[in-house]
Amino acid sequence: ELINISVVSKLPKETEKSLFEWSDHSINSELPLACGSSVTFDLTLNAIGDFVIETNATKSNTTRTAAANRSSAAASRSQTPYSSHQNSPAHASASAAKKTQLLGSTTLANFISELQTSNKSKQISDKRITESIDLCPSKIVEAVLQFEYSGGPGLASGYCRHSSLAITIEIQPSLLITHWDVLPADLPTNCFLVLDAMNATTQEMELRYTSSKEILIEANETCRIPVPIERCPLVDDEVDGDDKRDDSSQSLLSRCRQHLINQLSLNWMLSSTGIKGTASVANVPYSDQMLNSILLSPIQWEVTLNEQNLRNGNEFCFKTGQYISVGISLYNCSAVSLKSLNLSIHYYQDYQNSHRIGKERNYRLDMKKALTGFDRVIINEIESMKSYCHECGLTFFYTGIYKLEIECNSMTATDESIKHKVLTSSDIAQNKAAKSPSAVTSLWKCSPSIVISIE
C-alpha cells in the first residue's frame, strides 16, 4: 500500500517545507490499512514571517548616528594625540559607577546614558510604531494539501484515489527588529549587538535573548536590548585544507553572518496565551562596517609586568622606584602576513573626576617616570600564525595610579590587512577621507588599558 502527501502553494519550496511539516515515517508505519480503518498523523504549521523591518525613521536615525560618531571621533582626536572613540574616559559619578557595575561594560553604560539623556532616543513615537506595524501586516497563505492512496490490485494496476484539503493560514506579526547596531565590549574578544525589539502583538511578551537574560515588552512597545556575542574568528578552525585559509572579504563576511545566526537566539512567549516562537536574525541587513566590527582583531595580545600575566581588570601594585619589566607579545592569528607595523606604548593618568573637557587624561609624565629600552618599535613583518615579542622597562618616581595603553598600527596598510581590520568610527572617517587603499592605516589596541598602582 502507498500513501503520498504533498502541498501545492505559491510559496517557494524552501518556505513551503518549513511552513508545513509532517512525518512520512509515522504514516507508513500504519500501513497496510484494514477495512474501515484510518490513518491519523500530526500536521505542524510553522508561522514563517519577516522579523526585520527597516523604516524610514530607522534609516534616518542610522545616518544621524554615523554622522554623530564621526563628529565624536574627530573631537576625540583633537583633545589628545592618543585618545580614541573606543577608549574615551567616562565621567565618574555614583550613578555612572552603579550603572557600569550592573551592565558589566563601561562602553555599554555610556551608550545607555546617552539614550536616557536624549528625549528622542528614550521614547519611540507612536508614528514610528504605527509605521513599523503597517510595514509588516498580517500575511494570508493559501495552500492545498493533496493525498494519494493506493493498495492491493489497484496499486498493481496503477490506480489511486485522490483527495484534497484547502488550508488558509493568517500569519500575524510577533516580534519585529526595527534597528540594529554593533558596539565594542570591554573584552577584545566580545562585542554587543544592540537591537530594537518591538512587540507587534496585543499581549505582553516575554523575550529571552540570552541563556540568563529576559525582558518583558508591553503590547506595541519597543525595548532596546544589548546582546553580548563573541567576535567571529578570522580563521575557521572547523574547515580543513586550503578552505581554512580562505581570507577573501566575501568569505569572511558570509562566515560572520553565519556566526551571528549561530550565537543569537531570540525566544519569545506571550504571557497570557503561552504561545511561543523564535525570531530569526538571518535577514538582518548588516552593513560591511558592522560585520568588520564583529570580526576578531588579527592581533592577539599577551602582556606581562615583571613576569606577571595581565588579567582582565586586575591592577598591578609596585613600589616607588621599582624596576618594572614590560613584556609584549603580538600573535598574528589571521591568514595573511601583517607588514610595516608600528608598536607603541603610551602612559597617562586618568582624572576620572575631572569635568573639564580635554583634561580627563594627563599624558605629560616625563618627569614622573624613566624608560629603559624603547616604547616605540617598527616591526617589518609578522607572518601568519607567528608571534613578535618586545621588552622594555619602566620606573615611576611618584606614587599614584598610572595607566598603560599599548597599540599597534600599520604604517602602509595593504589590501590584505584592510580586509581583516576591525573598523571603528575613526577608521570609517579615515576611509572616506583616504584617496586610495594604501593611505588607510589600521589600528589595534590592547584592551583594556593596564592599571599600575605605585605606592
Per-residue pLDDT tens digits for 141-197: 899 999 888 887 877 788 888 899 999 999 888 899 989 999 888 777 889 999 999
Rounded Cα distance between 60 and 51, Å, is 20
Edge-to-edge strand order for the sheet containing 299-305?
Answer: 308-309, 299-305, 324-332, 387-396, 369-372
Q: Which three cell numbers stand for residue 264?
A: 543569537
CATH number attached to the domain at 299-454: 2.60.40.10
Sequential DSSP letters for 33-63: PPTT-------EE------B---HHHHHHHH
Q: Where do the structural domains in the chain lie, given as residue ranges? A: 2-46+138-170, 56-89+124-131+174-293, 299-454
Res 440: pLDDT: 44
pTM of the model: 0.62
More confident residue, 224 or 73: 224
Measuring CA to CA, which residue among 27, 269, 43 is closest to residue 149? Answer: 27
Q: pLDDT category, 82, cuts 50, 70, 90?
A: very low
Res 448: pLDDT: 80
Res 165: pLDDT: 92
Q: Is the pLDDT of residue 367 over 80?
A: yes
Measuring CA to CA, which residue among 294, 276, 121 is closest to residue 208? Answer: 276
Per-residue pLDDT reduced to its tens digit, 26-75 = 888 888 878 878 888 888 888 887 788 765 444 444 444 444 444 433 33
Q: pLDDT category, 130, cuts 50, 70, 90?
A: low
- The crossing angle, in degrees rounded to 10, of helices 56-79 and 126-135 is 120
